[in-house]
Every structure is written in structure tokens, then in C-alpha cells.
Structure 1
């Protein structure tokens, strides 16, 4: 990427991630002020301070570790591992005040997510175009012997409807068996196959040994190569090459290689029109194959406008969270473990990829991030908001307060465990950093479909 692009992506990522932390902590701060509680500090990030200032007796700071933030409230039970020691002997707040303050952070994240979801509903959302159609199938493979054919459209996996290869991968990964029922549609009929899964050696996750049928789209055109000379452009979608119907990138590469040294007819789709060209593949000595000088787009998106409504967006996130927790709970069957989760590094990497592709994808991820922040913070664990609520409810019900020293020790202990867990997932995030680098470098195509695409006649080369 160009330096200015890096600056844009980096700035946008820090702004979006920081906004999610800020609204959460501001919820705590705002409610604490409403309940007339003492506020000593407001921090974005953890660890050493980058800069800080005092206003109205409150220390405001931005810190080096972008893994969250905190509002220092000595009348709540604080964690010395994160917030430092509270000074003085300050009487605790009432249980109701502590409950309201703890709830305010997650509620602000949900309000923020709802606001972003409404914006997406209005401006639209790029949707990855990858219909669940199977590409070439080797007749000698297990799938081929079972009767699976190229061109079959997958409609159900493990009893759940699927509309894309992302849906297929999610259902396979979270399935509790190594053999998954897959229903395909062929010639108006539905056929169900029991397909074995394979495990990725690198990730340990399950997948189907099937390739998608996807029309290759040009992501870049190399100067001086045959593709540029005949007029092929970025965004062109290959339909056929040398009279052969193109199934996917690998298939196209094979067809191009076979056509080296002779003129080949190429049919592409551009802005809803079919165009014809004649191109002669040249032999690439380094790659040892025929080439025309194009790079394929990493992803092909079409903008859905209006975008999904907020209910659809929230439902999608909750469904994904449910499947994730189920997969973690049944890790022996699914292969999904804590190392597959993302910490701050993974979140920042995903945001960077989305910002670089299209800002609306980053907004969509922000909806998921803020819903996750809200619900995970409500888990009844010390150091999280849910832990504060649980202790306050215990005091309301029993009329007895849990010992302050006990709460401090438990909260600090859980804070250390949380930090250790964050370091653990960050280690695996860093190991996956090369993947984010590849995704940042790849070219994506964003299309804005028109209501009535113009019918086109082929144009001469």
C-alpha cells in the first residue's frame, strides 16, 4: 500500500477502535456522575501513559496498550493490576448505584452498535459475492465417487440453510461430527450427501474438500503484457477463455497456459455488458507457464442498498456468537479452541483489512465488535461489569456486603488471568499477522449494481 493509504488505514482503525472503548467507558463515567459518585480517572488503553491531563479533579489519559480502558471509581471494587491502588478510606456506593454504573458501559456499546447499524441500513453494505456453487470435482475423489458434481448448488449444510461459502465454512467448522450432511440442488432436484471433512494442519479447523465455482475478476493489469495491450481492465469478470467456460481462478490459469503462443478469444463482463477480446498468452520463463499479465481480485463485492436493517444485523451477530460459544464448548469435536479467538491485535488487523477494502465493511465489523463488547462484559466474572453487578445483587438480596479485601483480591486475581489470556490470544494473533498482510495487499472489486443493467452486444477486439 502507498504511504498515504497506510496513514488513512492506521488512523481510521485507531479512531474506530478507540471510539468503541470510549463510548463504553463514557457510559460508566456518565452514570457515575449522575449518581454523584467519586471519579478519579478516565483512561483509554492500559499500561504506561502516552499523555494525560487533569480536569475537575479527574485524570484523563491515553495509554500504550490498546486492549480496553477504565474509569477509576474508588467506590466500586477496583483492580489494582489495572487501575492502581485507590487512595484514602472512601465509603462504597449503594448497590443500585454500582449496578447502574456497571450496566451503563455495555448499554452505551449497544446504543453505539444500533446507531451504526442504522447508518449501514441507509448507506448500504458491500456483500461478498460467492454463491455456494461447487467448482470442478475430481471424479476419482471421495466427493466425486459419492456423486457430487461441479455446478451443484449447496443449499443446506448440517440441516441449516446456506447462501454463501462463508455460511458453508461456518456450518462445517461448528459441526459436532466429522461427516456432515450436505444438500445440493441439481436440475430442480435436491440431493443430500454425507461428506467427510478434512482438518487444516495450520489451523486445526474442519473444511470440505470442495472448491467454489467463482468467476475470476481482474484485480490488476500488468503494463506491457498482452491483457493491457488488448484493453482488458481492472474489474473485468472472465466468462470464457478460448471457448472454454471459466469455472474459477485455477481453471482459468490452466486454460491460459494451454493457449500460450496462439490467439485466444476472451469473453468478459464489464458494467453489465459482455465484451469480446482476442489475446495471445506469452510464456513466462520464471513461472514456467503461459500468462496474459493479470492479477486476480481477492474479493468481489456488490453493494446492497438499502443495507440489512438493524434487526437483521443484530441477529447475524448473535447467531455467530452462539455458534462460536458452542464450538468452543465442543472443542474436541470442532477443533475450535481459545487460540482461534482474536485479541486486540486480531481486532485491529481485521479492522485494517475492512477499512482498506471499503469503509462500510469496517462499520459492519464495528456493529459486531460493540455487541460483543457489551455482552462479554456482562459475563458474571470479577473484573468485568457482570462481576460488579453480581456482587451488588448479592448485597441487595442478603443485606450483607462481601468483604472489601476479598473482593479486591479476587478482582485483581481475575484481572491477572484476563491479562494472561489476552497475551495468549495475542501470541496467536501475531502468528496470523502475515495473513492480514496478504489481505491488505490484495485487490478487491466493489460494484454498485444498477437497477436495470444494459444488455450489451459484443464489441470487436
Structure 2
């Protein structure tokens, strides 16, 4: 019952959060349009068939089944007709709207998102903000690699990447991805002494991003035991956490795989944590006929924990918004320099990806979800202000052109332009949604485990990556 209620809590939180961001944006257009005397035909949250609706003062209000946005139907602006395929503005004679009014109405939506972001950031300031504090400790250095030859060791801590502080492995990854060079300056700490290395990044086989040729300290855990192979014969079970192999402490999956491969046909002690018990088992890795290296016949994931310390009061609203701005600019720069970063359009998140991220945050701590909403609203404002027809920035651009020409653009031109870019926008949303589905599982994002309260911190099991077969 409690698990079901958690699903309901997460689902309601995600829908209301995303809906709130859309609502304030569309309400900005609606409010300004009414203030400037424009005719409003409809106000809708979502697209597609109506789930619920009513008519008041000649305006149709509705909530629709596809929660991927919303619209305010303004015949004098030609905003949603191209998307909805409904009314032609020429069907009704309406008074012309000044370019200034068009600019104000278009700008009001993104402006409301910025205002909403500051409101949420103010709430975060008072309730506090969880910060990742689990240190970015290296768990594995590949033998004979450039990093090993430079003297980098397991147990060293990465404290800075490309000039950015790195207090967690997530920050290490983000700073590496957003660096515009293949060689990345990395500051590593050992016994209080810090050394700067120039490390060559490699391409992630999973996402195509730049990553360091170093692996984090995690805790290998058995995800699956294959039948009739050494792992099963030794008594290994799913969810066993591997502590050591052959007397060598294991700090990462990669280290464990290296140890297993180095001991084919050799009986070896393996120490595992099974629930509250610590067990010592003996396993004899079989020989892979191709590589002549050892293997157990198990699939490995990890059961690492993200540790959050709650900063209270949280960062000031301005600091939060400026942090989002810096990250957005860095992300756009990474997209522009895709050859150097490996970041492309496929790595952006659409509604499906946003829902997944929100679900994961709500399942960890609602304050993380609030922080993501600050980012979401600022991003909605920035994206909508791009000078692209269909988007608010496109309407502002057309109004500026109209002002310069001293006469309106032709209705046909605006219709054709809006329709063409609407098709491109929908195609783009489908493209990134396809990659969202490839990257994420909505169900897994809700199964993050329970949050454990600790003094000044919160812990939450991180989602396990794709299993690895040793």
C-alpha cells in the first residue's frame, strides 16, 4: 500500500509541477492579451483531445490529455491555429493589433516563467536545498593506462575539473562533458596534497559524451547469476555485495572484473555482504575459450548511494537563478561545439525526459524537484525567446519587422512560416522523445528505494547502470 501511495505521490507531483510551469507561461500570454484588448478564444493546458473544459465570457478553457505544453488562442496573433488546424484568422474581421502589443503579449509568457522561477527559488531558500556531498573518489585506474603512468591511484580524490569544483562524481562528469577541449585539466588530491594533471578524455560507449578514463568508487552488486557457471556453483546470489576477491578489497566493478579475469581456474576466496551477514565463499573462475581469461557467469551492477547534505537556508534566489543561467549557457556552448564535447540534440530532454527526471527527484526529496523546476522555468523562458516562428521569440521578431516596415506581414506568409516551423518543432519533439525513451525507464525512476535520514544528510540509492558480465 505504501509503495502504491508513493507512486501516486510521485505521479501527482510530476504532473502538477510540469503543469504549473506551463500554466504560468500561458497565463502570462493570457493576462497581457486581456490587458492589451486582444480577443482571446481559448486557454488550454496540454494538447490533443479535451479531458475537461468549460466556456466563460466567450473564452473556452480546457485541460487536454497530452501534457506536453499548452496554448492561448489569439486570432490576432496567429499563435495556435497552425498547430491546431482550426480557425483561419481571415474568417473573422478583427481590429489590428499594434506591434508593441504583440511584443508585450509574446514576452509575457517567458517573463512569467522567470518570475515563477524566483518564487520557487525563494521557497528553496527557506526550506533548504540538498547538495550532493559524496566525494568523487577514484575506484579504478586501468593498468598501463596514461592515468596509471602519471601516478594516479585508486583512492585518489578528484577535486576540480576544467576549473570547476567537483564535490561528486556527477560534477566530475558534467565538467568533463562541457569542456571544449579533448584534454581536460583535472586536480587530484592525495593525503592533503593537490596535483594538476592534463588528462585525455575518451568517448563514452553508451552516450557518446566525453568522459575521463577513470572510474568512480562504487560497490559491485550481483544483479543476475547465470545457471551452471562458477558463480552459481560457489553459492553467489542476486543482491550480494562484493567486498573483496582473493584478499583484495574491491572498490569498483572494473576492479572486480580485472581480478576475476586474472585468476582463471584458480580457487579464490570471495567475501560478500548478504543482508546483514558477511560471508566468505570460494569460487573458481572458468576460462573464457576466446580470451583465456577468467569469468564467473554473473552480471554486475552497483548499489552506490548518493549522499545529500541539506544546506539551510538554501542559496539565495538570485544565486540559484544565476547558477541555472551559467549551466544553460555552458550547455548551449557544448551543443554548438558538438565535435569537441560529443553533446548533440539527442542529449536534450523533452516532456518524457523531464517527467522522468522530476519523478526521480520527487522520489528522493521534493526540494530537489523544486530546484529542477527553477531550471525548467528558466530554460522554458530562454527557449521560448529564441527568434523562431511558433515560439514567442518568433512572434517578437515578426512584430519588430512589422514595426520597421510600418505595415503588417501578410497573413499567408505568417501562416506558411508558422506551419512550416510547427512541423519542424513537432518533429524535433518526437526526435528527442525517442531518445528520452532510449535513455530512461519511467518505471525505474520511481523505484529509487527509500530515503534514509542521517544527521545533516539524506541518502538515496542511485539507479544501477547497465549490468556488466565478467
- TM-score by length of structure 2 reads 0.78
Q: What do residues 3-38 of structure 1 show as CA deviations (whole Å, max 9, x unaligned)? A: 222222111111111111011001111111111211
Alignment match, 2:291: none
Q: 2:321 aligns with which of 297, 314, 323?
A: 314
Change (3 A) 1:249 1:202: closer
Equivalences for residues 118-197 of structure 1 within 5 A: 118-197=122-201
Alignment partner of 1:52 is 2:58: no
Change (3 A) 1:212 1:413: same
Q: 1:440 aligns with which of 434, 441, 446?
A: 446
Query: What displacement does 1:210 show?
Result: 1.3
Change (3 A) 1:323 1:385: same
* Residues 363 and 448 in structure 2, CA contact (< 8 A), matched pair in contact too: no
Query: What displacement does 1:346 show?
Result: 0.6
Alignment partner of 1:415 is 2:422: yes
Alignment partner of 1:335 is 2:345: no
Query: What displacement does 1:401 show?
Result: 2.0
Change (3 A) 1:89 1:281: farther
Alignment partner of 1:22 is 2:17: no
Paired with 2:455 and 2:429, the residues of 1 have a C-alpha distance of 42
Paired with 2:206 and 2:296, the residues of 1 have a C-alpha distance of 29
Change (3 A) 1:122 1:244: farther
Q: How many residues align?
A: 413
Q: What do residues 192-247 of structure 1 show as CA deviations (whole Å, max 9, x unaligned)? A: 22222221223111111212246899xxxxxxxxxxxxxxxxxxxx9999999885
- TM-score by length of structure 1 reads 0.80
* Residues 380 and 387 in structure 1, CA contact (< 8 A), matched pair in contact too: yes
Change (3 A) 1:142 1:250: closer
| Stretch deviating more after TM superposition (178-187 or 6-15) | 178-187
Q: What are the ranges of 5 or more consecutive residues in structure 2 without an aligned counterpart?
A: 222-241, 261-267, 285-294, 458-470
Alignment match, 1:391: 398
Alignment match, 1:457: none
Paired with 1:89 and 1:450, the residues of 2 have a C-alpha distance of 64
Query: What displacement does 1:326 show?
Result: 0.9
Q: What is the root-mean-square deviation in Å for CA atoms of aligned residues? A: 3.4
Query: What displacement does 1:160 show?
Result: 3.4
Change (3 A) 1:252 1:130: farther
* Residues 73 and 81 in structure 2, CA contact (< 8 A), matched pair in contact too: no
Alignment match, 1:273: none
Paired with 2:421 and 2:450, the residues of 1 have a C-alpha distance of 42
* Residues 378 and 387 in structure 1, CA contact (< 8 A), matched pair in contact too: yes
Query: What displacement does 1:50 show?
Result: 2.1
Change (3 A) 1:239 1:113: farther
Paired with 1:186 and 1:297, the residues of 2 have a C-alpha distance of 22
| Stretch deviating more after TM superposition (360-369 or 95-104) | 95-104
Query: What displacement does 1:77 show?
Result: 2.4
Q: 1:109 aligns with which of 102, 108, 113?
A: 113
Query: What displacement does 1:81 show?
Result: 3.0
Paired with 2:197 and 2:312, the residues of 1 have a C-alpha distance of 36
| Stretch deviating more after TM superposition (412-421 or 125-134) | 125-134
Residue aligned with 1:195, SS: strand
| Stretch deviating more after TM superposition (308-317 or 185-194) | 185-194
Query: What displacement does 1:127 show?
Result: 1.7
Paired with 2:71 and 2:195, the residues of 1 have a C-alpha distance of 54
Alignment partner of 1:42 is 2:43: yes
Q: What are the ranges of 5 or more consecutive residues in structure 1 without an aligned counterpart?
A: 218-237, 267-276, 452-461
